[in-house]
Amino acid sequence: MVKIIVINNYGQFCHLIHRAVRDLNQEVEIMKNTSSIEEILAKEPDGLILSGGPTLERAGNCSLYVKELDLPILGICLGHQVMAKACGGKVRTGVAGGYASVEIEIIEQDEILKGIGPKISVWASHADEVSVLPPDFIKLARSHVSEIEAMKHRIKPLYGVQWHPEVSHTKRGNDLLRNFFEVCQSY
């Protein structure tokens, strides 16, 4: 069992992430995105999930968490975008817009996507998307909608996915979460 902190970025799925983690028998707690590094570390988490949310401007201290915490971090949707921007990548308004089912092609079988793919159907919003991969990151997945659907840092345990693994519309979402818990356990 690992302890996961879900950072609330005011997105509609934050509580679904919490429930998905809990339903997979992990210890989980939601914290505000304005929490300090010290407040997060006081909880002694094994990993962090940056939830989705409406805008980068409302992402609180998430960039700071990505840069300063020595923990595995999974960025989901906005969390993926915050991670990219914090590490030197770029984010733009998406061409496709709102929520829809998207077929993802996994191009790099990594620890976070092991056993998943080579293609999966996911639920994602592309209102905003990562347009330029940050230095030291590897692209893990793409789609006809976005060239960077998933990424990971070459060395640090930092992962980002554009889609929502916590919703029932996403195939193999629980497998992605379990893979993240394994990363947290072995880190």
| Region of 117 on the Ramachandran plot (φ > 0 left; ψ -120 to 50 alpha; else beta) | left
Catalytic residue among 80, 87, 153, 166: 166
Q: Check if 169 is active-site.
A: no
Cα separation, 39 vs 115, whole angstroms: 35
Q: How many Cα atoms within 13 Å fall on the side-chain side of residue 37?
A: 9
**Main-chain dihedrals φ then ψ at residue 17, nearest 5 degrees:** -60, -50
Report the candidate in 162, 157, 161, 165 with the shortest Cα–Cα distance to residue 184.
Answer: 157
15 a catalytic residue: no
On the 0-12 / 13-18 / 19+ scale of CB atoms within 10 A, 154 is exposed
Q: Which one of 14, 18, 164, 184 is the catalytic residue?
A: 164
Integer Cα distance of 2 and 51 in angstroms: 18
From the list 14, 77, 87, 184, the catalytic residue is 77
Active site residue 18: no
Which active-site residues does the annotation give?
A: 77, 164, 166
